[in-house]
Amino acid sequence: MRGAQAGSVSDLEALFRDHWPRAYRAAYLVVHDAAAAEDIAQEAFLSAVRSLDRFDRRRPFGPWLHRIVVNRAIDWTRARTLRREVGDESLVTAAAPAQPAPRALSEGITGALADLTPEHRAVIVLRYLLEYTPGEIADLLDLPRGTVNSRLRRGLDRLESRVEEER
Amino acid sequence: MKERELRKRFLTDPVPEELEARERVWPTVRAAWETRERVSWVERRARPILALAVAAVLVGAAVSPPGRVAAGWVREQVATEEENGRPLVRLPAPGRLLVLSPQGPWVVQADGSRRLLGAYEDASWSPNGLYVGVAGGRRLAAVEPDGALRWTLTRPQQVSQPRWFPRTGFRLAYRSGDNLRVVVGNGTGDRLLARDVGPAAPAWRPGERHVLAYADGEGGVRVVDVDTQRELARLPLLDEVQKLIWTGDGRRLLVLGGNGQVEVYRPDRTDQRLWRSSEQAVRDVAIDPSSPRLAATHFDRASGRSRVLLMPLGGGAPRELTSVAGRLGEIAWSPDGRWLLVAWPDADQWLFLRMPDVSRIVTVSNVSREFDPGATGSGDFPHVAGWCC
């Protein structure tokens, strides 16, 4: 972070490559669409680098980025759900092809996540991918801690039962 | 499923497109970082010594050769940007591009594949992209996007600026020497429309009738019904006309003047001029096919920076979409109005901006080499002649 702020492109690249996997995965696991995940993660990085000079180095970069990613992913999923309900087919054209990889995350996990609301998915992703504590998740999403705990419990139960069904 | 197992699978199981997306996004992030609004260390950290630091900078500037610092900074920006971007793998939006390079016009498909149409110097799409009107030397021709020749005609003078009538393609206007001529869309019925016309390309008015606007040789713009040769309107003397564009409803005519100022006219009214931009030094302008607004590239000589602006067609303050070091060139909307292509010759790049809020930027690097294969030098930067259906 310090080097990127000082103008080092190699440090910026290191920062980008270090944070990309979790940012992209977090977006993908919430939206279940590779093109949208790419857009969301890119937007988050663009927001971050455009205001990099103003960023307080005493704060960690990850939570700042993750908050942008997860909130945008929730917004995107809500918007898609709304469009589906009103029958509007004109989804935003995706720039990247959404081709499933041969060894992608199992249908069990992604399918079970798809059954959850975006808010539930976000909590699961923040907890088990980004490894935030329930207290930190509550702060990030501006939720009561009890709500975070109940969403985690319900989400984990759903994942367990779906994966067991497939076995 | 145990929490530990879930955590492990979230972190390690392959996710579609993760690595490919990373490589696509990195040049864009880097470009955004390099063109960000910079905040000095002083501004971030030490307000009390701000005045002192500014004074030191001023003293430094006073003893530095003026302009050298700025020029060096621009070169540095451009040099670093040249390393950004990626090759032209595919277009970010549906449609096909028509690109004019030193070798001739190229058709670029949405998947990035491209075909050189032949040794022509100018080209334009037919309305539905079924044909391309091409001009080279003294020859005018219609070819299919795969290069197959449909018809051709030869004139005694140099031929250029072929422009198809937008709705049906039943007419094709073109320039031969200093004369403006019109031919039927199948290559027959070639005839003279006007002599001694200005350098700007003519523009067909969308609608039922074959109505054409062109810059005359006296500094004015005329609107003529091509079939009856009746003059419908004449706009007053203007600064040299660079570009003419009709709005989609055929009511308003946009004129880009030689001073880089944009003016919008209603040729059918007595108080013809509706609006004039406050901005000058506009390099190119394009009307959004899906909304009453226009996009423009603007160059500020003093700062050496260019901006991409969005302006409502009815007037109003322009909104800056992005800015870069050096000069920007042509600008083109995707057929669906969701993307904006901006040429950046100083960086040898194209920028694709996702509209309306530039939520995404796709950069294509080494554009001149992409359309001049085998060239050893950097080559001339190609021109975008159209983004069609």
Range B217-224 average pLDDT: 91
Confidence band (pLDDT; 50, 70, 90) for B37? Answer: low
CA distance B24 to A94: 13
A50/B354 CB distance under 8 A: no
For residue A73, the model assigns a pLDDT of: 85
Distance of CA B165 to the CA centre of its chain: 20
Burial of B351: CB neighbours in 10 Å, binned 0-12, 13-18, 19+ = buried
Task: Output DSSP code: residue A123.
Answer: H
Give A76 to chain B, closest Cα distance, Å: 13
Give the DSSP letter string of B280-311.
--EEEEEE-TTSSEEEEEEEETTTTEEEEEEE
Cβ proximity of B138 and B158 under 8 Å:
yes
Q: Which among B96, B113, B110, B82 is positioned nearest to B363, based on CA atoms?
A: B82
Q: Would you tell me how many other CB atoms lie within 10 Å of the CB of residue B356?
A: 16
Judge whether residue B59 has pLDDT over 70: no
Crossing angle between the packed helical segments A145-166 and B3-12, to the nearest 10 degrees: 80
Quickly tell me which residue has 């539930």 as its tokens: A120
For residue B312, the model assigns a pLDDT of: 87
The Cβ-side half-sphere exposure at B352, using a 13 Å CA radius, reads: 25
3-state DSSP assignment of residue A29: helix
CA distance B240 to A71: 51
Residue, of B333 and B44, whose pLDDT is higher: B333
B21/A41 CB distance under 8 A: yes
Q: Which of B6, B39, B111 to mutate to test the interface with A (most CBs of A within 10 A)?
A: B6
Residues of chain A neighbouring B3 (CB-CB closer than 8 A): 128, 156
B32/A49 CB distance under 8 A: yes
Could you report the per-residue pLDDT of B187-205, keeping only the tens digit for each?
999 999 999 999 999 999 9
Give A24 to chain B, closest Cα distance, Å: 7
For residue B84, the model assigns a pLDDT of: 41
ipTM of the complex: 0.80
A98/B11 CB distance under 8 A: no
Residue, of B61 and A19, whose pLDDT is higher: A19
Cβ–Cβ contact B7 with A under 8 A? yes
- As given in the structure block, the two tokens for residue B207 are 């609608």
Residue, of A91 and B25, whose pLDDT is higher: B25
For residue B176, the model assigns a pLDDT of: 95
Confidence band (pLDDT; 50, 70, 90) for B64? Answer: low
Distance of CA B176 to the CA centre of its chain: 25
CA distance B252 to B198: 20
CA distance B239 to B282: 14
Alpha-carbon Rg for chain B, nearest whole angstrom, is: 24
Cβ–Cβ contact A97 with B under 8 A? yes
Residue of A nearest to B352 (CA): A95
* Type and span of the H or E element at A140: helix A134-141
A46/B361 CB distance under 8 A: yes
Most confident of A108-122, B69-83, B198-212: B198-212
* β-bridge pairing B331-333 and B319-325: unpaired
Could you report the per-residue pLDDT of B153-179, keeping only the tens digit for each?
999 999 999 999 987 888 999 999 999
Cβ proximity of B363 and B27 under 8 Å:
yes
Residue, of B46 and B67, whose pLDDT is higher: B46
Evaluate the omega torsion of the peptide bond into residue B356 and state whether it is cis, within 30 degrees of 0: yes
Judge whether residue B235 has pLDDT over 50: yes
Cβ proximity of B124 and B166 under 8 Å:
no
Residue of A nearest to B80 (CA): A9
- As given in the structure block, the two tokens for residue B137 are 């030397």
CA distance B377 to B78: 17
Judge whether residue B218 has pLDDT over 70: yes
Residues of chain B neighbouring A152 (CB-CB closer than 8 A): none
B33/A109 CB distance under 8 A: no
Q: Would you tell me how many other CB atoms lie within 10 Å of the CB of residue A23?
A: 28
Scanning A73-92 for CB atoms below 8 A from B yields 92
